[in-house]
Amino acid sequence: MKKRLYIVIGVLLGCLGVQAQDSHFSQFDAAPLYYNPALAGVNECHNRIYTNYKGQWNTYNTFLISYDQALEKLQLLGGTLGLGGLVVADYAGENSYGNTQIKVMPAYHYNVIPGMLRLSAGLDAIFDLMSISEDQVVVGGGINPITGEKTPGYDMEHTKRFYADMGLGLNAQYNITPLFPINMGVTFFHLFGSGGGGLAVNTSEATNNYRRFSLNANAVCPLNPRLTLLPSFIYTNQKKYNEMNFGTYLKCAIGDYTSFIDALYVGSWYRVKDAIILGLAFDKPVTKNWVLQFGLSYDVTVSSYRKSDKWTSGKNVKGDSFELSVKLLNCRRPIVVNPEGIVNDPFR
């Protein structure tokens, strides 16, 4: 009982009076703008729409939708521009905690060696609104240590907080061959450290955000005309919190065997000292210019968090989580499909 009590209090204190930690996605390759604004407009397709949903412990939910496109008609110092935007929202149902973030991301792309090396830089303008319903908040004094009965209600100084901040992303893409690109980037979030770390209190230390640092890398490694490895890696650091994910998709071109999908992806990643991530995805051209990709992943927790099988509410089951992603790409060039898959594959 004491262990469960500490978990509840710890989560609530994280919402009320300490610096906020940003959301994270297991399918980080399906949320490129969230991790690096320099990737806005970097794709050859004219429009990209990404949507993501993450469900964790049956209580904590995260939604994301992003859009970006290249602005090739706008030239600057020999390079091209891109523009992206996204909305990400976190909700914790048991205490009606919500955090909605809007980002606007202009980017600049310069071909150092045309067809071989491209450098990109992007800004991340952040606008964030946090809120909570104080009549549904339960803290230590509102929990009976014997029966576990909860009495909601906590008088807060603030139930809403708005802040704005800025981030900077850098990215490099090097093509070993036209079909074998390597992508590497670095991003610095919360450059000003402003914002809504906590809700209940108004001290400067509690209301600032820790700066976040992120490294991202991925590649496309063709094995043969039908099989392609898509390895990816991300590392993030926010104060004392570190997270590192690495793994790969194996893409199988099967377009000539079925009219339902063009390619199937199976993969796994390891989040160090936390979870094994299993992934499944497929893509399919829906018109001569639009391509759809659907992805599903499941996190199998291998750390000590898995021991919290059922929290006090009975709604938080296990420590596992899952994600859904949907990508829509609109390419200016018509999609060309042959028995080996999409020739001008927009996902490469």
Choose from 158-162, 183-187, 194-198, 285-289 the range with maximum mean pLDDT: 183-187
Please, are residues 48 and 346 in contact by the beta-carbon 8 Å criterion? no
Please, are residues 212 and 169 in contact by the beta-carbon 8 Å criterion? no
Whole-number percent of the chain with pLDDT over 70: 68
Instruction: Please spell the DSSP secondary structure of 173-223, one letter per residue.
Output: EEEEETTEEEEEEEEEE-TT--S-S-SS---TTTTPPPPEEEEEEEE-EE-
Looking at the predicted structure, is the pLDDT value of residue 35 above 70?
Answer: yes
pLDDT of residue 14: 44
Looking at the predicted structure, is the pLDDT value of residue 7 above 50?
Answer: no
Overall domain count for the chain = 1
Summarize pLDDT for 117-153 with one digit per residue, the tens. 999 999 999 998 887 766 666 655 656 666 666 665 5
Q: Is 258 inside any structural domain?
A: no
Looking at the predicted structure, is the pLDDT value of residue 193 above 90?
Answer: no
Q: Is 169 inside any structural domain?
A: yes
Domain enclosing residue 145, as ranges: 2-211+284-290+303-335
Separation between Cα atoms, residue 119 and residue 172, nearest integer Å: 5
- Residue 32 to residues 115, 164, 177, 183: CA-CA distances in angstroms? 22, 21, 23, 12
Looking at the predicted structure, is the pLDDT value of residue 158 above 70?
Answer: no
Q: Which two tokens stand for residue 316?
A: 């938080």
Q: Is 10 inside any structural domain?
A: yes
pLDDT of residue 56: 77
**Residue 108 confidence class, pLDDT cut points 50, 70, 90:** very high
Q: Is 72 inside any structural domain?
A: yes
Mean pLDDT value across residues 233-238: 92
Please, are residues 204 and 217 in contact by the beta-carbon 8 Å criterion? no
**Residue 61 confidence class, pLDDT cut points 50, 70, 90:** confident
Other Cβ atoms within 10 Å of 109 Cβ, number: 24
Please, are residues 109 and 72 in contact by the beta-carbon 8 Å criterion? no
Mean pLDDT value across residues 157-183: 87
Q: Is 236 inside any structural domain?
A: no
Q: What is the dihedral of CA 191, 196, 197, 200, to 10 degrees?
A: 160
Backbone angles phi, psi at 33, to 5 degrees: -70, -30
**Residue with token string 């390619």:** 263
Q: Is 298 inside any structural domain?
A: no
Q: Is 296 inside any structural domain?
A: no
Separation between Cα atoms, residue 26 and residue 83, nearest integer Å: 24
pLDDT of residue 96: 66
Separation between Cα atoms, residue 35 and residue 49, nearest integer Å: 15
Q: Is 158 inside any structural domain?
A: yes
Least trusted range by pLDDT, from 31-40, 212-221, 254-263, 325-334? 254-263
pTM metric for this prediction: 0.80
